[in-house]
Amino acid sequence: MSSKPLISFTEVAEESPYFLDVDSRPDWSAAFENDNPLKLEIGFGNGKFLIEMAVREPETNFVGMDFYHKGIRKVITRINKLQLKNIRIAYGDAKERIPHIFNDAELKMIYINFPDPWPKKRHYKRRLIKPPFVDLVANKLMDGGEVHVATDSEPYALEILEFLEAQPDLKNKIGPGVFLGNRNDFPRSKYENNFINAGDKIYYLDFVKESGASEIH
Ligand SMILES: C[S@@+](CC[C@H](N)C(=O)[O-])C[C@H]1O[C@@H](n2cnc3c(N)ncnc32)[C@H](O)[C@@H]1O
């Protein structure tokens, strides 16, 4: 019986032109061969949302950032198959890499779908979305740019809401202290589908960058 040969991370990802393991800013216009707007998904997992967005919006350049090898391998295989020219996969921890690989005010959108909630109280400190990270997000967004977050965890949702609302340049698009109960304008991520199919409540947060937003609140 012949078994399917395992293709390594190196073979699929590291040799792919779509994969970037960089800690300084690539020339994004040269990488994509155009000056289309740049949107980032942090923690794309199996890449369902990222790929569907890139198919929907061929005039937008998408960067996906994650450090999950299996997901990256899958996504790059699919990008190759679909011949998608408008996605690049940036490897690494978002907290460490984003400061170096994007200029301030360079991103039109940032999506964070189902960031790991670290449900045990003693693990809360491992959560990605903390005030310094929120400042980073605000710095990298252009004026009018948006950050979209989704989570099924109520305690994490409340914490994220508090941190995003405390950032002076970000404004809750839905209204102060409010979550969106559903989201129909984007494709669903894998986790989103799983939670919806299980009947779980999802908390969506949509914030827009308006420099000096806090002064007009
Ligand atoms: C719960 S999964 C959600 C996957 C996908 N967004 C979805 O909704 O189906 C969280 C993802 O975030 C990634 N992740 C967690 N912390 C990260 C970090 N600091 N930088 C980049 N990716 C991260 C994990 O590797 C994982 O793929």
As beta bridge partners, residue 203 has 151
Judge residue 108's burial from the number of C-beta atoms within 10 Å of its C-beta, 0-12 exposed, 13-18 middle, 19 or more buried. middle
Residue 11 lies in a domain: no
* 44 in contact with ligand 1, CB cutoff 6 A: yes
What pLDDT, in 10s, does the model give residues 83-102? 999 999 999 999 999 999 99
Give the pLDDT band of residue 4 (cuts 50, 70, 90): low
Instruction: Tell me if 86 is assigned to some domain.
Output: yes
DSSP-based three-state secondary structure for 43: coil
When pLDDT is averaged across residues 166-175 and rounded to a whole number, the result is 97
> pLDDT tens digits, residue range 97-140?
999 999 999 999 999 999 999 999 899 889 999 999 999 999 99
Which of 213, 205, 209, 212 minimizes the C-alpha distance to 174?
205
Which residues carry out catalysis? 116
Residue ID of nearest Cα to ligand 1 atom 13: 43
- Tell whether 203 is covered by a domain: yes
| Cβ of 50 less than 6 Å from ligand 1 | no
Is residue 183 in some structural domain?
yes
CA gap 152, 158 in Å, rounded: 11
20: in domain? no
Rounded to the nearest angstrom, the distance between the alpha carbon of 44 and the centre of ligand 1 is: 6
Asked if 147 and 170 count as a contact pair (C-beta separation under 8 A), the reply is yes
Using 50, 70 and 90 to split pLDDT, how confident is the model at 23? Answer: very high
Tell me, in angstroms, the distance from the centre of ligand 1 to residue 17's CA. Answer: 22
Phi-psi region of 61 (alpha: psi -120 to 50; beta: other; left: phi over 0): beta
- Does residue 19 fall inside a structural domain? no
Q: How many CB atoms lie within 10 A of CB 185?
A: 6
Where residue 158 sits, what CATH number does that domain have? 3.40.50.150
Give me the number of domains the chain comprises.
1
What is the rounded average pLDDT of the residues 192-200?
A: 97
Look at residue 187 and tell me if it is in a domain: yes
* Residue bearing the CA closest to ligand 1, atom 12: 43
Local confidence band at 6 (pLDDT 50, 70, 90 cut-offs): low
Q: Pick from 159, 162, 160, 175: which is nearest to 208 by CA?
A: 175
Q: What is the pLDDT of residue 11?
A: 80
42 lines ligand 1 (CB under 6 A): yes
pTM above 0.85, yes or no: yes
* Residue 21, domain member (yes or no): no
**Domain that includes residue 140, residue range:** 30-216
